[in-house]
Amino acid sequence: MARLDVRPTQIVTSYDRRGGNDDFNNFARRGPDGWVVLADLEGPGYMSRFWFTGALDGSHGLRMYFDGERKPRIDTTIGDFCGGTEPFIAPLACFENYCWYSWVPIPFRKKLTVMVQDGGAKQTEGGKPGDERRLFFQINWSRLNEGETIQSWPRDMTDAHKTALSELGARWKSTPGANVPGERHEAICKQKSDTAVCELPGPAVIREFRVSLDDSSIGSAVARRQLLRDMILRISWDGSSPSVNVPLGDFFGSMGQRLKYDSLFFGYRDGVFSIRFPMPFAQSAKIEIQNLSSWDVPLTMEAVVEKLPSWPAHYGYFHAAWRKSGEEMMGRPHNVLRTGGTGKFAACLLGATSFDRSWWLLESDETMRMDSAPEPQWRGTGLEDYFNGGWYYQNFLARPLNGIVFKAPFRAVQYRIHFADPVMFHSAFEMNFERGPEMASRGVYESVAYYYLKTPQRSPSEIAQDASRYFPDDPMARATYMTEVNNIERMDDYAGAAEYTEYFLEKNPEFPFAETLRMRRDAYREKIRGSSAAPEFYKKYLSSSNEVARKQAGDLEWFYADPSRALLGLYCNAPSRAFLDGKFVLGAGRDDRCEIARLSLPDGRHTFAVQAQWKQYPDWMQFCLRTHSGDVVSRPDSKYALDAAGGWMTSDYDDSAWPRLSGTGVKGPPEAPYVWMEPHPHIGMHSGAAGLRPEWNNRVQSYVVYRSEFDVPSGR
């Protein structure tokens, strides 16, 4: 990653050549009948990244022609090429966030032509024949240096090829260096002062370093969160000015709050921040903390350092820059990085918060301009597309090189690492994001640029010394509590969810559902404790003066009193009816509330069915049947039928001909423009379930039915 002698990436995309927001259907040329050419790549070289969306489903055709051959060597579907068949499987290739992408390198000796079937997803419910179809794509590729050769993609994959890609996928799934001990350094970072944590002699490479903060003396959840922006990490190489000058939380990928995840190069788990970008230096490395808070903060750092016999000429020095821009910059783009020198752009972490109460902010295309080019050589098709997502994302996702690690209306935090597709420059580099279409979106962008330079330079970070450096207060936050904790639960971070609940209560002391939130906070703490005994956290709320909390605590008391009891949570924004073993058990249909029902479940086989009426998009149905032997939840591969006839709610109904949904479920729920969901104390009830919706076939159906079968074991 630190080498500057690697081949640069190039990009071909469907961006709007007229400068607007129509970033689709801009193909290289038309192909045979029913096909379009996305790219003609001249070799020798290799395609390093393929990203695509707009197809109706994964059966959309994909062909790749090599070296002028008339027959495609790769003749497949988008779905199979991106996560459906070996070797194109996760984490190297995926379908998620409504997009298909692959990092599997596709080499070609002379030429590679990439084609897909014409036509794409309808843009509105009830699309008619002849409606415009929209296909979006991005292809990254690299050309070999003069004199270098390469073999084209084989006609038949050998066992050696498959093994190599399988081993690569396994390495990407692991966290490199996580168990490697390092040099330990401890310091107490005094308030309003700078603290030198350590100095290291060179030549050497920092392979990884880890940081943990002791904030146990800080009683305020708001102050603990602000600490991530109050502690500024600075790293200087060879006695120069700091090349890294970034708020500590953001540097490690935790923007705004601690976010539990791992990418290939940074993350946070079990109270420890870690970063694995290799950081070589010739003479010395100095790591220090500027503490802008009003607290003395103990800090522990562990650095994994590899000594070098001499300084390799092909290495670059690691840099990182932090930028924030807000509404005052309307009409101008958000600048991620502007630097001179020879180097490599390595990664981008971006937070985007909209004050327009819409996701329009995510329509911001990215551009990159290298060296003295008059126009950007890199033009994207949308903010979320750059991060391997699309259609305003779905839910939390952390992959080795890309992720959406926070989403709530109308905010998102996302990252992209240029490991497989390095962006190289010789004299200058600039990266920007549009401020929405026509630069007209009201919002705040915050970013960290990770990059390498041939020689150390001062980081161009612009960090305010006052409260304006903090993550922006969200005007929608009082409405999106449940969305936020569900996002954190998907990270399997119950401590983080409890901490966020404390933070929310401190920021909103008069919140009408505060008593429910305290009960949910206690449920998180009970989950963390992991006791095998029946919990009793709810008992103190049975006599609450708050009627809603008292009723919710009663549901928990009833459930835990008998192992044959179950709680059904049904959340739908269209009129829906739930049946258990042929009997009606619950109705729902409010976009702001999950309905809860008490059920008794004898041992044995059971059938659960839900009927949901048609509703204008966005529509969803989500359920969680909580039993003492585990949750039965709505799944994105659920069996379904439109306008099903007969006794579909009974156990003996034959649903063998019913298809299964394909995909990853709907966004949320709730999904914009619906953002509010009434809080309740049943943790995991939504984060573990998918929101479902079918393709409604031009609105001619009146309802959809979903069926699930499950077993309740004896001796619970």
pLDDT digits (tens, 9 = 90+) for 225-277: 999 999 999 999 999 999 999 999 999 999 989 999 999 999 999 999 999 99
**CATH number of the domain within which 116 lies:** 2.60.120.1390
Average pLDDT over residues 623-630: 94
In a domain, 289, yes or no: yes
Phi, psi of 178 (to 5 degrees): -60, -30
List the structure tokens of 319. 């840099």
Query: How far, CA to CA in Å, does 135 sit from each of 95, 328, 394?
Result: 16, 34, 19
Identify the band that residue 519 occupies on the pLDDT scale cut at 50, 70 and 90: very high
Average pLDDT over residues 451-456: 98
- Among 48, 162, 31, which Cα is nearest to 107's? 48
**CA 299 – CA 188 distance, rounded (Å):** 6
Identify whether residues 19 and 125 lie together within a single domain.
Answer: yes
Residue at which a domain ends, from 277, 308, 339: 308
Strand ranges for 87-178 from DSSP E = 93-96, 99-102, 106-108, 111-117, 136-143
Identify whether residues 154 and 45 lie together within a single domain.
Answer: yes
Q: Does the pTM exceed 0.75?
A: yes
In a domain, 484, yes or no: no
In a domain, 533, yes or no: no
Give residue 306's pLDDT: 96
**CA 587 – CA 547 distance, rounded (Å):** 22
pLDDT tens string 541-595:
999 999 999 999 999 999 999 999 999 999 999 999 999 999 999 999 999 999 9
Give residue 698's pLDDT: 67
Q: Which residues of 58-88 are buried (b: 16+ CB within 10 A; e: fewer)?
A: bebebbbbbeeeeeebbebbbbbbbbbeebb
Residue at which a domain ends, from 173, 190, 212: 173
Instruction: Look up residue 660 and give its DSSP letter.
Output: B
Identify whether residues 695 and 568 lie together within a single domain.
Answer: yes
Under 8 Å between Cβ of 553 and 539: yes
Identify whether residues 290 and 429 lie together within a single domain.
Answer: no
Give residue 716's pLDDT: 56
Weakest mean pLDDT among 16-30, 110-124, 528-542, 625-639: 110-124
Kindly report the number of other CB atoms within 10 A of residue 262's CB atom.
20
Identify the band that residue 474 occupies on the pLDDT scale cut at 50, 70 and 90: confident
In a domain, 611, yes or no: yes
pLDDT tens string 139-186:
999 999 888 999 999 999 899 998 999 999 988 887 766 678 889 999
Give residue 130's pLDDT: 45
Give residue 437's pLDDT: 87
- Percentage with pLDDT > 90 across the chain: 83
Domain span holding position 431? 316-464
Identify whether residues 261 and 341 lie together within a single domain.
Answer: no
Identify whether residues 711 and 592 lie together within a single domain.
Answer: yes
Average pLDDT over residues 608-620: 92
- Percentage with pLDDT > 70 across the chain: 97
Alpha helices by DSSP H, listed for 324-461, are 383-386
Average pLDDT over residues 337-366: 95
Identify whether residues 159 and 187 lie together within a single domain.
Answer: no
List the structure tokens of 133. 């179809």
**CA 401 – CA 266 distance, rounded (Å):** 10
**CA 712 – CA 608 distance, rounded (Å):** 12
167: burial class by Cβ within 10 Å (0-12, 13-18, 19+)? exposed
Under 8 Å between Cβ of 435 and 296: no
Length of the chain: 716
Residue at which a domain ends, from 173, 205, 226: 173
- Among 107, 133, 185, which Cα is nearest to 14's? 133
Split into its structural domains, the chain has a count of: 4
- Among 98, 106, 100, 97, which Cα is nearest to 83's? 100
Under 8 Å between Cβ of 66 and 438: no
In a domain, 492, yes or no: no
DSSP result, 227-295 = HHHHEEEEEEETT-S-SEEEEHHHHTT--SS---EE-SSEEEETTEEEE---EEESSEEEEEEEE-SSS
3-state secondary structure of 613: strand
- Among 466, 409, 497, 442, which Cα is nearest to 675's? 409
Give residue 472's pLDDT: 87
Under 8 Å between Cβ of 362 and 382: yes
pLDDT tens string 390-437:
999 998 999 999 999 999 999 999 999 999 999 999 999 999 999 988
In a domain, 481, yes or no: no
Identify whether residues 611 and 710 lie together within a single domain.
Answer: yes
Identify the band that residue 438 occupies on the pLDDT scale cut at 50, 70 and 90: confident
Q: Is residue 112 over pLDDT 50?
A: yes
Give residue 548's pLDDT: 96
Identify whether residues 134 and 185 lie together within a single domain.
Answer: no
Q: Is residue 132 over pLDDT 80?
A: no
List the structure tokens of 518. 């305290």
Which residues are paired to 45 by β-bridges?
108, 143
Identify whether residues 182 and 168 lie together within a single domain.
Answer: no
Give residue 146's pLDDT: 86
In a domain, 499, yes or no: no
Identify whether residues 233 and 341 lie together within a single domain.
Answer: no
In a domain, 674, yes or no: yes
Cα torsion 522, 528, 534, 540 to 10°: value is: -10
Identify whether residues 224 and 146 lie together within a single domain.
Answer: no
Which residue has tokens 């959309």? 60
Which residue has tokens 């002699």? 201
Q: What is the mean pLDDT of the chain?
A: 93
Q: Is residue 131 over pLDDT 70?
A: no
**CATH number of the domain within which 692 lies:** 2.60.120
